[in-house]
């Protein structure tokens, strides 16, 4: 971390209780930095009901979705200026603010956050935030004469954004409604990307995971170990599996509960999450990224039901 981006005070150790905030409260959290309307990561975390570090961690895990125009870290002087605006002074109480200059998110960054956080709260709150951005842009555009420091280029940008509000809101609604792409394709060598995607799928399960994969080993178990606590795992694999009883016992000692069933009736690989989302996986999980393969979300209800019924029959 660059020394210039460090402040001399420390962040609170615990997340404050989430407060009900109205439109005026949200508008007061919007600041203009580098000619862009932005919100502090700590303010967004408060609105979403999460810790600031977890919000920024979600951003870092999806860095390609957050270019500089969506999110950037403030310089120390920029952060001080915001604090002056908020409190009228520069009296920084010990423990009140982060010791690091925070990240700020633009309107587009807020929209993308609702997609990567993947929660109803994030979507609902983001809609309110977007409305605050829109309202403030309209106020500035309608009172341009009061802001003689705004350059003509910035005014043109505001007008363009004003005309694009409806289209952008449609895009935002689409992002919120399509958090998961129905198909993914990975090429040879994209091992990190493939494993990251599979880990995200596994971590999204809230109750159960069923994996149909004829060729599994301890690398497969390492992926399944990323699941949430309390999520059960049913694994269907070939009778001559590379897994040993010792491997299974070690897994269950740390990440219960895994059940391994042996069968030869399947050729393809499937990943079923919470008995609802069914993915057809073109490669064994342990080999993901070694060759070109695809992952497809099955949306045809009759196909999903037929597969689930077949698996249920094998469990008896």
CB 280 within 8 A of CB 295: yes
- Which three-class secondary structure state does DSSP give residue 188? coil
Alpha-carbon gap, residue 95 to 308, rounded angstroms: 53
pLDDT value of position 83: 74
Burial class from Cβ neighbours inside 10 Å (0-12, 13-18, 19+) for residue 251 reads: buried
pLDDT value of position 7: 39
Does one domain contain both 194 and 48? no
Does one domain contain both 202 and 96? no
> Which residue did the predictor score with more confidence, 253 or 12?
253
Alpha-carbon gap, residue 112 to 70, rounded angstroms: 8
Alpha-carbon gap, residue 8 to 99, rounded angstroms: 6
Structure tokens at 5: 């981006």
pLDDT tens per residue across span 200-238:
999 999 999 999 999 999 999 999 999 999 999 999 999
State which of 158, 177, 196 marks the end of a domain: 177
Does one domain contain both 145 and 262? no
What b/e sequence results for 62-86 when a residue is b if at least 16 CB atoms lie within 10 Å of its CB, and e otherwise? beebbeeebbbbbebebbbebbeee
Strand 183-186 relative to strand 293-298, pairing: antiparallel
Does one domain contain both 242 and 142? no
Nearest CA to 23 among 138, 171, 136? 136
Residue 51 DSSP class = -
Does one domain contain both 97 and 72? yes
Does one domain contain both 271 and 245? yes
Sheet holding 36-40, edge to edge: 30-33, 36-40, 103-106, 71-73
Does one domain contain both 138 and 26? yes
Does one domain contain both 223 and 252? yes
pLDDT tens per residue across span 156-177:
665 666 666 655 565 555 545 5
The domain of 201 spans 183-315
pLDDT tens per residue across span 51-81:
889 899 999 999 889 999 999 999 888 888 7
* 90 has a pLDDT exceeding 90: no
What's the full length of the chain, in residues?
A: 316
Alpha-carbon gap, residue 272 to 171, rounded angstroms: 29
> Which residue did the predictor score with more confidence, 122 or 252?
252
State which of 142, 177, 212 marks the end of a domain: 177
Q: Categorise residue 219: left if φ over 0, alpha if ψ from -120 to 50, beta otherwise.
A: alpha
* 98 has a pLDDT exceeding 60: no
CB 231 within 8 A of CB 208: yes
State which of 177, 205, 239 marks the end of a domain: 177
Does one domain contain both 169 and 190? no
pLDDT tens per residue across span 178-210:
455 677 888 888 888 888 889 999 999 999 999
> Which residue did the predictor score with more confidence, 242 or 121?
242
Does one domain contain both 94 and 233? no
CATH number of the domain encompassing residue 190: 3.30.870.10
> Which value, in Å, is the radius of gyration of the alpha carbons in the chain?
24
pLDDT value of position 93: 42
> Which residue did the predictor score with more confidence, 66 or 135?
66
Alpha-carbon gap, residue 146 to 141, rounded angstroms: 10
Does one domain contain both 134 and 51? yes
> Count of domains in the chain?
2
* 147 has a pLDDT exceeding 60: no
- Which three-class secondary structure state does DSSP give residue 237? strand
pLDDT value of position 9: 32
Alpha-carbon gap, residue 127 to 125, rounded angstroms: 5
Alpha-carbon gap, residue 156 to 176, rounded angstroms: 29
Does one domain contain both 249 and 265? yes
* 154 has a pLDDT exceeding 70: no
CB 236 within 8 A of CB 314: yes
> Which residue did the predictor score with more confidence, 44 or 2?
44
């Amino acid at each position: 971390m660059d020394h210039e981006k460090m402040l001399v005070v420390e962040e609170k150790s615990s997340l404050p209780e989430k407060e009900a905030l109205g439109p005026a409260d949200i508008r007061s959290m919007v600041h203009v930095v580098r000619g862009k309307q932005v919100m502090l990561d700590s303010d967004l975390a408060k609105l979403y009901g999460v810790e600031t570090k977890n919000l920024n961690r979600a951003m870092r895990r999806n860095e390609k979705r957050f270019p500089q125009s969506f999110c950037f870290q403030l310089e120390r002087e920029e952060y001080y200026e915001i604090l002056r605006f908020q409190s009228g002074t520069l009296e920084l109480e010990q423990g009140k603010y982060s010791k690091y200059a925070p990240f700020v998110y633009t309107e587009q960054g807020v929209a993308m956050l609702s997609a990567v956080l993947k929660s109803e709260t994030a979507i609902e709150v983001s809609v309110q935030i977007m409305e605050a951005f829109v309202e403030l842009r309209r106020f500035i555009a309608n009172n341009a004469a009061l802001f003689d420091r705004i350059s003509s280029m910035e005014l043109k940008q505001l007008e363009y954004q004003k005309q694009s509000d409806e289209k952008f809101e449609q895009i935002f609604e689409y992002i919120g409604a399509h958090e998961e792409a129905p198909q993914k394709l990975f090429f040879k060598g994209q091992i990190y990307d493939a494993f990251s995607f599979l880990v995200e799928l596994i971590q999204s399960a809230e109750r159960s995971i069923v994996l149909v994969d004829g060729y599994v080993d301890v690398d497969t178990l390492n992926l399944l170990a990323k699941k949430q606590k309390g999520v059960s795992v049913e694994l269907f694999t070939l009778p001559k599996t590379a897994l040993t009883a010792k491997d299974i016992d070690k897994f269950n000692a740390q990440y219960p509960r895994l059940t391994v069933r042996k069968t030869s009736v399947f050729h393809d690989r499937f990943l079923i999450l919470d008995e609802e989302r069914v993915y057809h996986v073109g490669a064994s999980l342990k080999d993901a990224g070694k060759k070109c393969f695809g992952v497809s979300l099955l949306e045809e209800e009759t196909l999903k039901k037929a597969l689930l019924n077949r698996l249920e029959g094998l469990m008896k």
